[in-house]
Chains A and B, each alone.
Chain A
Amino acid sequence: MEEKIVRLSNDLRKKGMPVSVRSTQSAIDAYAILGEDNVDTLKDAFRSIYVKSKYDIPKFNESFDGFFAKKVPKKLDNDLNRAYRPNSMKGKLSQHEWKITMQKGTGGKQIQMGAEQAMEYFAGRPVLEDRDKDLARDNDILNSDLSKLNKYDERVFELCVELGRKIANKQSRRKRLARSNKIDMRRTMRQNMKYGGVPIDLVHVKKKPHRKQHLFLNDVSGSCEWISSWFFMLMFACQKTFKDSRMFEFDNKTIETTEFLKEQYMVNAFAEIRLLRMRNMMVRGTSNMFTAFESFMKQADISNKSYIILLSDCRDWAGPKVNGIPASVELISQMSSMAKKVVILNPEDKKKWDVVDSCVSLYKGAGAQVYEVSTLNQLAEFVADM
């Protein structure tokens, strides 16, 4: 049996789950206690040992079933289900289809099944039964290639909210950490005058907040259009963290979208943004980074406290060239000298960088830092570490 458990651990590792030797040992210990008589219980036990993230639950279920599940004939399975139900339920619908029938009462409506019966019936039902598919899908969305998330999906919004909250939380913890533990002698002495100068109450130095401004510039031309939308949604979800920041979008011109961060609902903001793009003829446009950066530099007040975050594949399709080099490189260089930092988030695979019209190396040479962000998770991690 130990071998079987070790093989299960290996299988889970192959699926990308972080399985330690400690987990394998715990699974062996749990097996020694529980045995294999009740496979469902063993599955619950192994799940709590092996799984470390809710998104790994479907992977675990699949692997476990491959190693341990008993093959029960369908008819027998149905018979077992029927036998498990209380008498009042027998001969009715299946577990999923079952509905509570109502009786007319004096004060309100009564459920035919008593509360105790209901509890008896529902105790033992796995909570996650119906959510496995959702979790597997969420995991796919978070870790799949951003360029493939190119159609409207409400679940992506919800995941953006979840990621945004994580970012906001991490950023606010940073602010707390920024507080110094040094004692403010002047304030401490003043505070303790009432105790005759004995320093009973200590006053610590509060660090002055470091004022920084984030300027986000998203490429909405062709391949980057949807990625920019998801990036905006992510920023929307953590807007309180970056409340002093401004957002822009560009193809061959630049428009400011900061105003839409103030919408109450993400879906409304999303709709407004798309409407604005259409009004400005920015749907499936080609990028001219020279004209776009030029108008961006006019609109945004870039100072030495500004961090410019550019989400783009760095493909300057229609931009002018000077001696074979895109003119936008010079503007990146100007921005780098004016701002604290210029960061480019490139959703393209690194292998495609500098191929054909990609100017990643040229932008790097002009002072920008370029990072690859190919999944929603990577994008969120970057923003959180910003």
Chain B
Amino acid sequence: MTDEELSIEEIGKKLESTGYISNNEISTSVFLSLSLNKPILIEGPPGVGKTELAKAVSECLGREFFRIQCYEGITFEQIVGEWNYQKQLLHLEAFKGSEKGEESIFEDDFFIRRPLLTSFMNDKPSLLLIDEIDKADEEVESFLLQALGEKQITVNDLGTFDLQNDLMVMLTSNAQRNLLEETKDRCLFLYISYPSVEREMAIVKARVPDADNGLVKKVVNMVHRIRTFNLNKKPSVRASIDWVSSVMHLDKDYKNVDAALEDSVGVAIKTEPDKAKVIKEIFRNEYMNE
């Protein structure tokens, strides 16, 4: 069965088999991406499983995984590839005076391939994750858009490369800047928000299967309460998972869970003022006695 023939339910089950708790909305977006051959743009606050979704899809569909981690100032060269200038120079020095030396410096051997080109040229079905696209400059976004739209990349002096496989593309964004309208238009949109208490418990349980159910419930409830505080940074789903794991390591017999939770609060709360506030509101009042 090819990926395109999978039903929405089958995609959901496959995702769950990798430990990713999907829902109808997520599975439908993945299904459409495969059926309509469109990239998916995933938005949502940090730590809700945007990147994990891409990894899970690649794992459950048996696709090779490629990732471009965007950041401020990322360039075309860092995405597509660049000429190995030093190698070219050494080659020229080595073959000084010979015509052969000058001709061969623009061969494939002198070109360092980066994730976009590698994923394009891969002969197996692949998945390309363009992570945190909102951090890249608009020029890079436009270039990526063109490459993905035309399924072709042109590199100066080396030629044009056509897409060699059934490439699935996922983009994630924390909405730190507004993406280009063209990008949004070409992509399917999936917004992943903080999950409900019950759903988050299921996610934590899937990630930390050995964790005690009572502990999972306690941590998730606490994290949900903390999210309602006016903090600089709200704890993510990842924070819930890490907090549960930390408590399990600190208090293996679950004899003093509260103390272990307080000792490891830094796992979920990332700034000192936030930490002070959480300790005061959660650990120093009646909430812990409920």
Name A residues whose Cβ lies closer than 8 Å to a Cβ of B. 18, 20, 22-23, 26, 29-30, 33, 40-41, 44-45, 47-49, 51-54, 57, 100, 102, 105, 107-111, 115, 118-119, 121-131, 154, 157-158, 162, 165-166, 169-170, 172-173, 176-177, 179, 198-200, 202, 264-267
Contact = CB atoms under 8 A, between A and B. Distances in A.
Contacts of B137: 173, 176-177
Q: Is the interface of B mostly helix, strand, loop or mixed?
A: helix
23 contacts: A20-B185, A29-B36, A33-B35, A44-B24, A45-B28, A108-B212, A115-B213, A118-B202, A119-B202, A119-B206, A123-B16, A124-B23, A125-B198, A126-B24, A127-B196, A128-B25, A131-B193, A176-B137, A177-B73, A200-B90, A264-B232, A265-B273, A267-B230
A111 to B, nearest CB: 4
A123 B205 CA distance: 13
B81 to A, nearest CB: 18
Q: Which of B25, B72, B214 has the most CB of A within 10 A?
A: B25
B185 A41 contact: no
Contacts of B201: 118
A127 B214 contact: no
Interface of B: 8, 12, 16, 21-26, 28-29, 31-32, 35-36, 38, 40, 43, 72-73, 85-86, 89-90, 93, 134-135, 137, 175-178, 181, 184-186, 188-193, 195-196, 198-199, 201-202, 205-206, 209, 212-218, 230, 232, 253-254, 257, 273
Contacts of A115: 202, 205-206, 209, 213
A44 B28 contact: yes
A126 B193 CA distance: 10
B177 A170 contact: yes
Contacts of A170: 177
B193 A127 contact: yes
Nearest to B4: A33
A334 B209 CA distance: 70
Contacts of B214: 102, 105, 108-111
Contacts of A176: 72-73, 137
B194 to A, nearest CB: 8
B25 A44 contact: yes
Q: Is the interface of A mostly helix, strand, loop or mixed?
A: helix
Given A126-B23, A169-B135, A198-B93, A48 B195 contact: no
Nearest to A124: B24
Nearest to B135: A169
A54 B191 contact: yes
B36 A30 contact: yes
Contacts of A123: 12, 16, 21-23, 202
Given A44-B25, A110-B214, A125 B177 contact: no
A265 B137 CA distance: 30
Given A165-B176, A198-B93, A265-B273, A119 B198 contact: no
Contacts of B134: 169
Contact of A109 (B12, B21, B40, B217): B217
A-B pairs, top 3 by smallest CB distance, nearest first, are A109-B214, A176-B73, A108-B214
Nearest to B253: A107
B199 A127 contact: yes
A39 to B, nearest CB: 12
